[in-house]
Amino acid sequence: MGLKLIFMGTPEFAVPILKSLKESEHQILSVYTQPPKKSKRGQQINISPVHKFSNKFEINVRSPNSLNKEEEINFFKKFNPDVVVVVAYGKIIPPQLLNLKNIKFLNIHASLLPKWRGAAPIQRAIMEGDDETGISIMQIISELDAGPYMLQEKIKIDKKDNYISLSKKLCNLGSKLILRSLKLIEQNNYKFVEQNKKNISYAKKINKKESEIDWSLPANNIIAKINGLNPFPGVWFLHKGTRFKIVEAIEVDQSGQIGEVLDNNLTVACKQKAIRVLLIQKEGKKILKTKDFLAGYKIQNGEKLA
């Protein structure tokens, strides 16, 4: 028979999950997403990936600046969804909505709660060198990411995973788990498990200042940071006043003075071992393989990088 749903999400991460719901037996009454934004130069209005998908399939879209307006409260009351599915929406759901009777608010969170509550759970899991992460289907309450969860499932984090690759794995897993959760609700065969408060950790929002490379860290920590912050904001270093973003690198068993270029392959010494840069991007230019980059730009063996 299916349930009546409202979907709330914004970035590309949420699109496969919305797609799985659209292709299911459930009815999507409306989609909420962040309002369109002007490009940096103000010449173009950009709508979110979720908005684009919804337009393509003629799903009703709402993008209010605030959910506290009476108009939005009345919209929920009028259509009375069974479940509201929230995926990286980017706005706090106000108590006026959460307290509406007979509506379940479920969040698809990209971590094994209570670990990595907050805005950047995928990036933080990679940057901290975690071996595993997962998806939690949780009930939304007023406290951020603190609600009990209905389902959790783990996945391994590969050493080569970056933000893009791990996001794809997690949104595919989220697509499956939300359908399983909705089936349990239909069957009235679900329960929520309270989070263990002793194990709480927070995935704070990524600060652009974090993206400057620190060669005094061990090589494995730098690799984790490169992967976690790829593609945005990316990890960079300065050479002769110009910024260069390291897109991909590997750890190698070499040593030298911290920040020293050890060979002609752009291998750089760290506190422990070294990293070899595989893909690099000069500010304002395209991404290049290091061999091609060094054919046109010289970074000498023995130089110290900032």
Residue 266 in any domain: the answer is yes
CATH number at residue 9: 3.40.50.170
Tell me what pLDDT residue 41 has. Answer: 65
Tell me the β-bridge partners of 277. 249
Each residue's pLDDT tens digit, 160-196: 999 999 999 999 999 999 999 999 999 999 999 999 9
Rounded CA-CA distance 291/268 in Å is 15
Give the residue-averaged pLDDT of 92-121: 97
Confidence of residue 1 (pLDDT cuts 50, 70, 90): confident
Confidence of residue 208 (pLDDT cuts 50, 70, 90): confident
Backbone angles phi, psi at 158, to 5 degrees: -75, 150
Confidence of residue 44 (pLDDT cuts 50, 70, 90): confident
Q: 159 and 218 share a domain?
A: no
Tell me what pLDDT residue 40 has. Answer: 66
Q: Is 261 helix (H, G, I), strand (E, B) or coil?
A: strand
Q: Is the pLDDT of residue 265 over 90?
A: yes
The whole-chain average pLDDT of the chain stands at 96
Q: Is the pLDDT of residue 43 over 80?
A: no
Give the residue-averaged pLDDT of 109-115: 98
Residue 301 in any domain: the answer is no
Q: Which of 184, 203, 222 is the last residue of a domain?
A: 203
Q: 88 and 184 share a domain?
A: yes
What are the start-end ranges of the E strands in the chain? 4-9, 27-32, 37-38, 45-46, 61-62, 83-87, 104-109, 117-118, 132-139, 149-156, 202-203, 235-239, 242-252, 267-269, 274-282, 287-289
Q: Which domain holds residue 216?
A: 208-296
Q: Which of 203, 231, 258 is the last residue of a domain?
A: 203
- Percentage of the chain exceeding pLDDT 70: 99
Q: Is the pLDDT of residue 201 over 70?
A: yes
Confidence of residue 42 (pLDDT cuts 50, 70, 90): low
Backbone angles phi, psi at 13, to 5 degrees: -55, -35
Residue 13 in any domain: the answer is yes
DSSP letter for 143, please.
Answer: S
Residue 267 in any domain: the answer is yes
Tell me what pLDDT residue 203 has. Answer: 98
Each residue's pLDDT tens digit, 226-254: 999 999 999 999 999 999 999 999 999 99
Q: 82 and 217 share a domain?
A: no
DSSP letter for 91, please.
Answer: S
Residue 306 in any domain: the answer is no
Q: Is 248 helix (H, G, I), strand (E, B) or coil?
A: strand
Q: 87 and 234 share a domain?
A: no
Residue 305 in any domain: the answer is no
Q: 130 and 241 share a domain?
A: no
Q: 154 and 282 share a domain?
A: no
Q: To which residue do tokens 């709402």 refer?
A: 62
Q: 50 and 157 share a domain?
A: yes
For the chain, how many structural domains are there in total?
Answer: 2
Q: Is the peptide bond before 114 cis (omega within 30 degrees of 0)?
A: yes
Instruction: Judge whether 280 and 266 are in contact, CB under 8 Å.
Output: yes
Q: Which of 177, 203, 229 is the last residue of a domain?
A: 203
Rounded CA-CA distance 117/133 in Å is 12
Q: 74 and 196 share a domain?
A: yes
CATH number at residue 226: 3.10.25.10
Residue 282 in any domain: the answer is yes
- Percentage of the chain exceeding pLDDT 90: 96
Q: 127 and 264 share a domain?
A: no
Residue 10 in any domain: the answer is yes
Rounded CA-CA distance 76/62 in Å is 12
- Nearest to residue 113, comparing CAs of 156, 79, 83, 147? 147
Q: 30 and 125 share a domain?
A: yes
Stated length of the chain? 306
Q: 87 and 232 share a domain?
A: no
Give the residue-averaged pLDDT of 136-140: 98
Q: 188 and 66 share a domain?
A: yes
CA angle 213–202–197, rounded 5-degree value: 150
Handedness of CA 262, 264, 268, 272 (dihedral sign): negative
